[in-house]
Amino acid sequence: MKPNFSLRLRVFNLNCWGIPYLSKHRTDRVKRLGDFLNRESFDLALLEEVWSEQDFQYLRQKLLPAYPAAHYFRSGIIGSGLCVFSKHPIQEFTQHVFTLNGYPYMIHHGDWFCGKAVGLLVLHLGGLVFNAYVTHLHAEYNRQKDIYLAHRVAQAWELAQFIHHTSKKADVVLLCGDLNLHPKDLGCRLLKEWTGLHDAYLETRDFKGPEEGCTMVPENCYVNRQELEQFPLGIRIDYVLYKAVSGLYISCKTLRTTTGHEPHSGSPLSDHEALMATLCVRHSPPQHNPSPTHAERSPLISVLREAWTELDQGMAQGRWWATIAGYVIGLGLLLLTLLCALVAGGEIREVAVLLWTPSVGLVLGAGAFYLFHVQEAKGLCRARAELQHVLGRAREAQDLGSESQSALLLGQQEGDRAEEQ
């Protein structure tokens, strides 16, 4: 790599709100999105909530000349909704489906059926290995009483771990997506602290878009007003995050966000705003890369502790639900035995027969509920164990750091004393 090496990269991210039959003006919006992407010719366009594979195929055809490489990440029953269009050849791709993703019986929320995931693309650009990740975490339906909090924290942890373990040889890491997390939310801090990713909105000096970088704003006619009741300016839940290895320096030259209506037609492309970032990767002079200091490790330790508590509470709750379900199964079986006895005895036969269906339903439903929550508790326990291990090692490193700092200080003091003598 030449010392004056510089790589410019234009990236687009949008949660497309593409639910067939439910999202308003979907076909028109997908068409306009295709036109917009063709006009702008980004290096990489990462999309979420493209729930219909037909929409992806339509875009693929339309964008083929400008974006020869594309991939649709399939998972779950409905899909992950994630896809990507790239101007540059995709060297490799893979995906990781999150272990926990809501509850199957919350059918009206539907996240469980989607198979939320993180997709990874490996690109080779200007001699650099470039890992681009696209993701979409579980939605937040009620911020005051968020029953999905533990799952979202577990997803943020799995996302961070997936990036951590798959990007070890990458020169540049880029993560785009709808995290369904506000900037100061636990999951967002956990992700940033463990991966070391930087937030384009916070880093750039040239931002144009809604106040506070919001990506769901009241000006957008498709936005659900109820979701923004507590936030008159809007919320920021879509992100462009990045980092580069030592020896390289990555910065966000400009970050543009749509403002609730598309510049040309006036009506928005989605209920979310699109993020358009111009990133610049440059060679940075070799620097002394000291191990993180005591003060630098503290935020990681504190966020790990907080996440541990959240996962632990989620686990306890999962186990509690499994226990309740266990009791219900027992009750249901008792009821079924009673009904069988009544039918056999010829007493109130019709009532017994009528009660048979709901009783069988109760036992089967409670059985499924039990199995689901046992699996949920196991999933949370797994994330907690991984997190606890990292926490342990971070503490060890901190203790070692303090010791060596103390030793250094002691050595210095002794040296001072020696000099004094």
**Which residues have a catalytic role annotated?**
272
Q: Which stretch binds a second copy (CB under 8 A): 96-104, 147-155, 176-184, 299-307?
A: 96-104
**Which residue in 68, 247, 330, 361 binds a second copy (CB under 8 A)?**
361
Provide, rounded to whole angstroms, the least separation between the CB of residue 58 and a second copy.
18
Residue 73 or 103 having the CB closest to a second copy? 73
When asked if residue 357 is in the footprint of a second copy (CB under 8 A), the reply is yes
Q: Is residue 75 a contact residue for a second copy (CB under 8 A)? A: yes
Using CB under 8 A as the binding rule, whether residue 338 contacts a second copy is answered as: no
By CB under 8 A, residue 326 contacts a second copy = no
Task: Pick the closer one to a second copy by CB: 345 or 415.
Answer: 345
Is 76 among the residues that bind a second copy (CB under 8 A)? Answer: yes
Nearer to a second copy, 78 or 139 (CB): 78
Exactly one of 34, 115, 177, 187 binds a second copy (CB under 8 A); that residue is 115
378 binds a second copy (CB under 8 A): yes
Residue 317 engages a second copy in binding (rule: CB under 8 A): no
Give the chain's length.
421
Of the two residues 35 and 386, which places its CB atom closer to a second copy in the complex? Answer: 386
Nearest distance from C-beta of residue 361 to a second copy, angstroms: 7
Q: Is 64 in the site for a second copy (CB under 8 A)?
A: no
Residues near 167 by beta carbon (within 8 Å), at least 6 away in sequence: 131, 173
For a second copy, give the closer residue by CB, 228 or 333.
Answer: 333
Q: Is 3 in contact with 248 (CB distance < 8 Å)? A: no
* Binding footprint of a second copy, residue count (CB under 8 A): 45
Kindly tell me which of 36 and 73 has the beta carbon lying closer to a second copy: 73
| Residues within window 381-400 making contact with a second copy, judged by CB under 8 A | 381-382, 385-386, 389-390, 393
Using CA atoms, how far apart are residues 412 and 421, in angstroms rounded to an integer? 14
**What's the per-residue H, E or C state across the chain?**
CCCCCEEEEEEEEEEEEECCCCCCCHHHHHHHHHHHHHHHCCCEEEEEEECCHHHHHHHHHHHCCCCCEEEEECCCCCCCCEEEEECCCEEEEEEEECCCCCCCCCCCCCHHHHCCEEEEEEEEECCEEEEEEEEECCCCCCCCCCCCHHHHHHHHHHHHHHHHHHCCCCCEEEEEEECCCCCCCHHHHHHHHHHCCEEHHHHCCCEECCHHHCCECCCCCCCCHHHHCCCCCCECCEEEEEEECCCEEEEEEEEEECCCCCCCCCCCCCCCCCEEEEEEEEECCCCCCCCCCHHHHHHHHHHHHHHHHHHHHHHHHHHHHHHHHHHHHHHHHHHHHHHHHHHHHCCCHHHHHHHHHHHHHHHHHHHHHHHHHHHHHHHHHHHHHHHHHHHHHHHHHHHHHHHHHHHHHHHHHHHHHHHHC
The yes or no reply on residue 371 touching a second copy (CB under 8 A) is yes
Binding segment (CB under 8 A) for a second copy, from list 85-93, 146-154, 184-192, 223-231: 85-93
Asked if 54 touches a second copy (CB under 8 A), the answer is no
Q: Which stretch binds a second copy (CB under 8 A): 13-21, 26-34, 158-166, 200-208?
A: 158-166
One of 166, 259, 267, 313 touching a second copy (CB under 8 A): 166
User: Does position 333 bind a second copy by CB under 8 A?
Assistant: no
| Binding footprint of a second copy on the chain (CB under 8 A) | 71-77, 79, 90-97, 99, 113, 115, 120, 161, 165-166, 168-169, 350, 353-354, 356-357, 360-361, 364, 371, 374-375, 378-379, 381-382, 385-386, 389-390, 393
